[in-house]
């Protein structure tokens, strides 16, 4: 990502959004009673990828991955991007 070209406020906003996505994925997955391993199998990624998403290590999931996660968690992609998981 081109973070070095962005303003400090823009960088902060991007990092906040990434954190929100991580928290929402984890919260919604746990609420559904689905393990990381099961979610990973259902969306076709390695379990460590889901773990990295939830822990903020992997911060740039593709739209395809977000759509697959949303489908498995029975929500919209916008719910994953929102401030608080619904």
Confidence of residue 73 (pLDDT cuts 50, 70, 90): very high
pTM for the model: 0.77
Question: Is the distance from CB of 43 to CB of 68 less than 8 angstroms?
Answer: yes
Confidence of residue 71 (pLDDT cuts 50, 70, 90): very high
Q: Specify the pLDDT at position 19.
A: 77
Provide the domain count of the chain: 1
Confidence of residue 85 (pLDDT cuts 50, 70, 90): very low
Q: Specify the pLDDT at position 14.
A: 54
Range of the domain at 35: 7-81
Question: Is the distance from CB of 85 to CB of 24 less than 8 angstroms?
Answer: yes
Question: Which CATH number goes with the domain that contains 11?
Answer: 1.10.260.40
Mean pLDDT of the region 56-73: 93
């Amino acid at each position: 990502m081109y973070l070095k070209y962005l303003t400090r406020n823009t960088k902060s906003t991007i990092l906040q959004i990434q954190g929100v996505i991580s928290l929402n994925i984890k919260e919604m997955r746990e609420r559904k009673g689905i393990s990381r391993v099961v979610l990973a199998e259902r969306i076709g990624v390695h379990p460590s990828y889901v773990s990295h998403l939830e822990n903020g290590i992997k911060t740039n999931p593709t739209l395809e991955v977000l759509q697959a996660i949303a489908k498995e968690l029975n929500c919209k992609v916008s719910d994953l991007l929102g401030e608080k998981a619904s």
